[in-house]
């Protein structure tokens, strides 16, 4: 086969694999992916619309996906209820923001330093410690609830801000993903920095962090979702209502089984869900990049 024919064949195959414009060959992908996408996004659409449904539509059968008579009464009732309590909703919101920001920042520092140490340093017990981290992935929070409670009580952390932050400051799954990503950084790059006189923190700040940003973004998303939705600390370790979080307050509404609380519960679900959705949308490209490369060395 001549060189010219090989080049044409290569261009043709490349255009089929990654076409720059729409072609008839893409129709079969749209036939499968568009219905699948609509099916996947349907729960999100229904969750948001339920927050704007009047009580009659919330209990309609079969259930409605789109609100036919949208109303803001559910949100008005939710904020009106919070104004009658001793602690306003804005206080719960402020607590959640403070706790989430502190936990995410502390988790980011621990994850970066831990991943760099496991990936690029050799020390005694390294393999055992990393296996312990992997073993921690098997335990759900419920399995360690009693032991965690005993530790917190013995350290006298109840009714403090630390009780919100410390239990979630380290995430085994985040450390694993970032460590796998750090493994891909060439050792020669770090050795060159050492020869130039760079210290450990300088190497981490100027070399490691810029190269593992996708993995760090994924860690931030996972940590944010877990902290924002967490109610364990507010339920078990905090007695002062002014130190509890928004997730605790909104989830307490869902325990009310009265018909009148159904609309407020739907509105509360949207308020808890939207921040998670927004942060994932903002960082989805980084998250997908991490998932596709975290296992490749």
Q: Is the pLDDT of residue 28 over 80?
A: no
pLDDT of residue 13: 47
Q: Where are the domains of the chain?
A: 3-72, 77-293
Higher pLDDT, 189 or 15: 189
Domain covering 77-293, topology: MetI-like fold (1.10.3720)
Mean pLDDT over all residues of the chain?
A: 81
Q: Is the pLDDT of residue 188 over 50?
A: yes
For residue range 167-179, what is the model confidence (pLDDT) as tens digits?
A: 888 888 889 888 9
pLDDT tens per residue, range 123-176: 888 889 988 888 888 887 778 888 888 988 898 888 888 999 988 888 888 898
Cα gap 24→134, rounded to integer Å: 46
Please give the pLDDT value at position 33.
Answer: 83
Q: What is the mean pLDDT of residues 69-76?
A: 85
pLDDT higher than 80, residue 259: no
Radius of gyration of the chain (CA): 25
Q: How many CB atoms lie within 10 A of CB 6?
A: 10
More confident: 82 or 245? 245
DSSP for the chain, written as a single string: --HHHHHHHHHHHHHHHS-SS--GGGHHHHHHHHHHHHHHHHHHHHHHHHTT--HHHHT-SSPPSS-SS--SHHHHHHHHHHHHSSS-HHHHHHHHHHHHHHHHHHHHHHHHHHHHHHHH---TTHHHHHHHHHHHTT--GGGGHHHHHHHHHHTT-TTSTHHHHGGGS--HHHHHHHHHHHTTS-HHHHHHHHHTT--HHHHIIIIIHHHTHHHHHHHHHHHHHHHHT--HHHHHT---GGG--HHHHHHHHHT--STTHHHHHHHHHHHHHHHHHHHHHHHHHHHHHHHHHTT--
Mean pLDDT on 3-11: 50
Amino acid 137: pLDDT: 82
- Given a cut of 70, is residue 5 above it in pLDDT? no
């Amino acid at each position: 086969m001549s060189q010219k024919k090989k080049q044409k064949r290569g261009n043709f195959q490349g255009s089929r694999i990654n076409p720059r414009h729409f072609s008839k060959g893409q129709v079969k992908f749209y036939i499968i992916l568009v219905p699948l996408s609509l099916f996947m996004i349907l729960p999100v659409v229904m969750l948001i619309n339920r927050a704007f449904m009047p009580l009659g539509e919330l209990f309609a059968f079969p259930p409605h996906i789109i609100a036919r008579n949208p109303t803001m009464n559910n949100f008005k009732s939710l904020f009106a209820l919070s104004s009658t309590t001793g602690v306003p909703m804005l206080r719960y919101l402020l607590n959640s923001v403070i706790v989430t920001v502190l936990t995410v920042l502390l988790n980011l520092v621990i994850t970066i330093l831990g991943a760099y140490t496991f990936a690029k340093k050799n020390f005694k017990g390294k393999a055992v410690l990393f296996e312990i981290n992997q073993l921690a992935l098997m335990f759900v929070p419920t399995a360690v609830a009693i032991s965690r409670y005993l530790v917190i009580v013995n350290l006298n952390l109840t009714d403090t801000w630390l009780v919100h932050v410390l239990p979630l400051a380290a995430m085994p799954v985040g450390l694993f993903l970032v460590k796998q990503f750090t493994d891909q950084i060439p050792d020669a790059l770090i050795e060159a920095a050492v020869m130039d006189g760079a210290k450990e923190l300088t190497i981490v700040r100027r070399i490691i962090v810029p190269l593992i940003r996708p993995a760090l973004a994924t860690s931030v998303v996972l940590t944010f979702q877990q902290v924002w939705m967490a109610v364990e600390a507010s339920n078990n370790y905090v007695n002062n209502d002014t130190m509890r979080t928004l997730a605790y307050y909104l989830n307490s509404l869902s325990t009310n089984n009265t018909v009148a609380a159904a609309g407020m519960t739907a509105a509360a679900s949207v308020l808890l869900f939207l921040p998670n959705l927004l942060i994932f949308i903002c960082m989805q490209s980084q998250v997908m990049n991490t998932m596709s490369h975290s296992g490749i060395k």
